[in-house]
Every structure is written in structure tokens, then in C-alpha cells.
A and B are shown apart, each in its own frame.
Chain A
Amino acid sequence: MKIVVCVNHVPDTETKIKIGADSKSIDKTGVNFMLSPYDELAVEEGLRLKEKFGGDVTVLSLGGDAHKETLRKALAMGVEKATLLKDEAVRDSFGIAKGLAEELKTMSPDIILFGKQSIDFDDAQVGTMVAELLGISSVSVVVKLTIDNGKVICEREIEGGHETVETSLPCVIQAQRGLNEPRYPSLKGIMSAKTKPIQEKPAAAGELRVESIALRKPEAKAAGRIVGTDKSAVPELVRLLHEEAKVI
């Protein structure tokens, strides 16, 4: 089975984000970047498919040189090959999807795995767009994947329950938490990742259809208020919840 996992390099979830001087991008100084957590699930699933069906796993990322760090992590987890589609410029979801799709056309994989969204801009669009550009099916928010004789059965998470869908290879699968528990890269894996080359090529041109024009942080939370400390405060609390907070 020819497996491709598309991954993104995103700010660490624990990072305190500062908005940059241009008000539309983040200030990257002192920010740690990492393999996007949903993409990590996709890498793990790719490795499990390989372990089950044989074949090989390639990781693909579109972005600047910094993305190599994330590709290297996937290599350390056990992926064999990595390709970086280089472009330092800012792209929208469609631009990224277009760049990835052009490369994927030349690779003709059996299955393409994504995280359900990358946790930087949370657009949750690239996987679906890539499937559309390749003319293949796409299943998102997948928590269970079973492949049998080319038949693909996916369990999806939906509001308040699960949905089971069926499609066929080739297809795009977008991973949700619960699909698996990603392995740690072993120290041996980390050391051998050094010897696996990262193929670099310029990304096919995209087009900017959606442009980011401003970033804003949420308002700081106001301090809490103590209405009273015994039951005499209940009527006032109820009034405030009803009239001010409008929750009851």
C-alpha cells in the first residue's frame, strides 16, 4: 500500500501567542513549533496501515525550511520518506491544497492521510480540497478506520454520536483524536532519521483566494465577583444570572 501523510508545522499548543507588528501574522520569536497533533494521529495511522498491509509511508509538507523539523519527527516515528514542497510565502488553504495536490498527482498513492485540521489556523479545509482537486472521496473527523479488500469503512465523530461510512481506495482520510495513540519516536528512530533524506522541491504555484487581514486576541476575562457568602445572596445571584449573564 502506498501511503502518503500530509503534515503541518504549527506553534506548540502551550505557546503564548503574540501578534506581530503587521497585526496579521504572529510574532514567531521564542515560539516552539511542532508536528500538528491531529497530523501526528495521521502519521501513526499511516505507520499502522504499513505494518498491516506492507508498502511504504511518505510524509509531505508544504512550507518553509522550518517544516523539516516536523518532517524529521515523522521520520523518527518510522516513516521512510519525506518531501518538502518549499514555499516561504503565506498561502491560504486553497493555495496549500493546490500545491499538495499537484505533487500527489505524481505520486498516485492508495491512501492520503491528514489531521482533521491543523491547529494553527483551524481552517479544516486542506484535506477536503485536496480530495476534490484529485477527484477522489474524502472522509473527515475519522475515529476508526478499517480497510478490507479496497473497501474503506470509517467511523466518524458527529454531534452526540458516531456515523459509519463506506468508501473505496484511493481516498483522503482526516484523523480525529481517538483514532489511535501515537507512538513516541524511539531514540533509535531519532538517530536513524538522520540518515533518511528529505526530498526538497519548489511547491507548485497556488493562488491567494482568501487573505488574512487582521488578527486579534480574545478580550481578557473580567475578574470574578462574589455576590455573597450565604443563602441570602441567592435571589441576587439568580437575578444577575438572568439579567446580566442571561444564562437562566
Chain B
Amino acid sequence: MQKFQGVDYMNVDSLLSEEELLVRNTVREFVDDNVIPIIEKHARAGTFPMDLVAKMADLGLFGSTLPAKYGCAEMNNVAYGLVMQELERGDSGVRSFASVQSSLVMFPIFAYGSEKQKDYWLPRLAKGEAIGCFGLTEPDFGSNPGGMITRAEETSDGYVLNGAKMWITNGTLADVAVVWAKLGGVVRGFLVEKGMKGFSAPEMKGKHSLRASVTSELILQDVHIPKENILPNGEGLKLPLSCLSQARYGIAWGAIGAAMACYDSALNYAKTRIQFDKPIASFQLTQEKLVHMLNEITKAQLLCLQLGRLKDSGKVRFQQISFAKRNNVYHALQIAREARSILGANGILDEYPVMRHAANLESVITYEGTHEMHTLIVGEDITGIPAFV
């Protein structure tokens, strides 16, 4: 198979700096060498490729925008986005692992944690010596996290947590869970550590999507946690939502990677698959599909690049992140489906990456804010009228 050459119809690369390109190309090569050769096997078995954790850590893929003093690369957000794009070109599950570790665990500890928490956890999480997860969603509270049932009560020497979380990426693998719970009616963040009495994280089985990723429940039954495990700097639902903004930003980029993999696979297939004595790429219907895919990928690239530049200049608004996540994941899913149709029956085989990406994107369009919720967030932003409360 020919090495992936990137998809860049409008020379968007010319808008990237030398470092951004080197970061992108390095992770691209890493994914070609380390993710693509093994990922179908893991997707088939329903296992996360644990070997990748140390390799991703060596490369510096965890918390890569955080300061160098924690062992992080201190890159800008565009470079971070390009990392997410390339990881998801491999698999959404691998990108999810890095997203959660970086945006949902290291970010809240960095932004809301104590110096002691930062000094202890961030270097370990950056090195992949510790794995983290993020517990916000509950069985009955998804799009409406403010209704969460999980409660914390203050005791003489700390807190007691009770409740349950669901759909938690990396839950079973995690050494530390950033758990959001109500303390006196106010949402607070807590660091719940593996092995604490009353805390368990059983894996959820039977997924048809994100098969190469671990998804878990978190069960908290009278879990005593010490005083120093509360995130001290901030309270309220805006804290977990700020983490989601970080993660959604990465997902908007990641979706481009999945779309690129599908487009690349469909284009190569269309040029070599012969029907009626000619390549199917010579049929107008196929060309229309390919052009449409390329068109949407290119728009998504420009959208993300501008989003990243806004984020790097500190001017991004969360509604703009919703706008990009909504658009890019939606189109990536359409592209995956269209690519599958070009590959015909072969499209359903795991010899090609298309069906795996299509199935993954069915999760991606729902997690980290559903397509519908992002529509309503942007809808409220432009009309001034909230449609979901």
C-alpha cells in the first residue's frame, strides 16, 4: 500500500509554521509505523493497544500544550490539533485516549489543581506512568450534566463520594479519575485514585464502535478521599465544561484525520477497481462523491486552522468550538459512509479502514456534546434564544 501523502488540495500547509509541520509529519509517521499496522487486530478483539501508551508518552503526545516544567512540550494549539488529526487518522479510540489524558485529566489538574497536585500528577501523566479518566456523564445525565446525582459530603478529614458515572473513556485503565460531584449543591472536581475503598471501574462491553478503546462505568460507594484530593481552584459546572471545550477542540481536528483516511482509501480504491472494463473512478457518480469528500475535508481544515489560531490568541469562544466539532464530525461521518459506498462490498471488510472509522464516528458525533446539543449552542449564540432550557 502506498504511504499516506496527506490531503491538502488548497495548500493549507503553507499556512503552518515549520514546527507545526514537523510535529504533524512526525506524528503522521508514528501513526503509520505504530498504529495502522496493529489497529484492526485490536478493533476486532475489542482491546486497547496498551503498548502505545509508552510510545505516545516518549513522543510527548500527552499534555503537549502544558508548560515544559511538567515535562510537556509547551506547543501551541494548532500543533496540538494536528497531533489529534493524525492520531484519529489511525483510530478514534487512540485519539480518544490522548484527548482524555491531555484535555480532560491533565488540563483540569493544571487549571484547577493545587501546586502539590500538579507537581505530583502532571509529570506522571505526561510520561504515561499514570493514566487518567474523566467522570462527568452519568447513566441518566448526558446532555444535561448539571442534573448529576453523584454527591460529595464533607467529613472531618476529607470527603465521601457516592454515585455512578458512565461512558468513561479509559475508566478501567485509570490510576486517577477526575470525578465531578455536587458538594452542597455545587459541582466540584475530585481526584479519585485507583484502589480507593468503594471505588470500582468495570469495563462496558458489547460496543460496535470505538472497539479499540476502553469505555467504563465508575462506581463510587462511600469512597473516602483525603482533603487534598479536591481540586481547590474553582467550582461550578463551568469547570467541567471548560475541560470539554478543550477536548472538543481536539475532536474537531481529529474528525479531519478520520475523514482523510476514508477519502484516501476510497480514492485509491476507485482508481484501481475495474468495472465495465474501466476504473470506477472514471464514472461520474464516483467522481462526484470523491470531490464532495475532498471539498468537505478542505473546509474542515480551514475551519480548524482558524479555530486554532483564535485559541492561540486567546480569542476563541466555546460556541465556535461547538460550531467546528458539529461540522467536522458530521461531515467526517458522511465521508466515511460515502467512502464505504465507493468501496462497495469490500468497504465492510477490515482489510480497509473505512467501516471502522464509520463505526467510530457514530460515537464521536454523540460524545463530547451531541451533534444536536452543539446545534442548539450555536443556535442560541446567533438568535439569543436558548432552545434547550
B5 touches A186 (CB 8 A): no
B380 within 8 Å of A (CB atoms): no
A191 touches B75 (CB 8 A): yes
A186: nearest residue on chain B (CB-CB)?
A: B60
Measured CA separation A49–B22 after assembly (Å):
25
A188 touches B22 (CB 8 A): no
A187 touches B18 (CB 8 A): no
Measured CA separation A72–B17 after assembly (Å):
12
**11 A-B contacts (beta carbon < 8 Å):** A73-B22, A184-B26, A184-B30, A185-B22, A185-B26, A186-B60, A187-B61, A188-B71, A190-B19, A190-B26, A190-B75
Q: Give A contacts to B, CB under 8 Å.
A: 14, 69, 72-73, 76, 184-191, 193-194
Closest 9 CB pairs of A and B: A187-B60, A187-B73, A188-B73, A186-B60, A188-B60, A190-B22, A191-B73, A187-B64, A14-B3
B29 within 8 Å of A (CB atoms): yes
Are A184 and B29 CB-contacts (below 8 A) given A14-B2, A191-B73?
Answer: yes
A68: nearest residue on chain B (CB-CB)?
A: B18
A191 touches B19 (CB 8 A): yes
B385 within 8 Å of A (CB atoms): no
A13 to chain B, nearest CB (A): 8
Q: How large is the interface on B (under 10, 10 to 19, 20 to 34, 35 or more residues)?
A: 20 to 34
Question: Given the complex, which residues of B lie within 8 Å of A184, measured CB to CB?
Answer: 26, 29-30, 58-59
B72 within 8 Å of A (CB atoms): yes
Question: Given the complex, which residues of A lie within 8 Å of B23, measured CB to CB?
Answer: 187, 190
Interface residues of B in 253-310 (CB under 8 A from A): none
Assuming A185-B26, A191-B68, what are 4 further A-B pairs, CB within 8 angstroms? Answer: A14-B2, A14-B3, A191-B73, A191-B75
B193 within 8 Å of A (CB atoms): no
A197 to chain B, nearest CB (A): 14
Question: Given the complex, which residues of A lie within 8 Å of B61, measured CB to CB?
Answer: 187
Question: Given the complex, which residues of B lie within 8 Å of A189, measured CB to CB?
Answer: 60
Are A72 and B58 CB-contacts (below 8 A) given A184-B30, A188-B68, A188-B73?
Answer: no
B3 touches A190 (CB 8 A): no
Question: Given the complex, which residues of A lie within 8 Å of B22, measured CB to CB?
Answer: 72-73, 76, 185, 190, 193
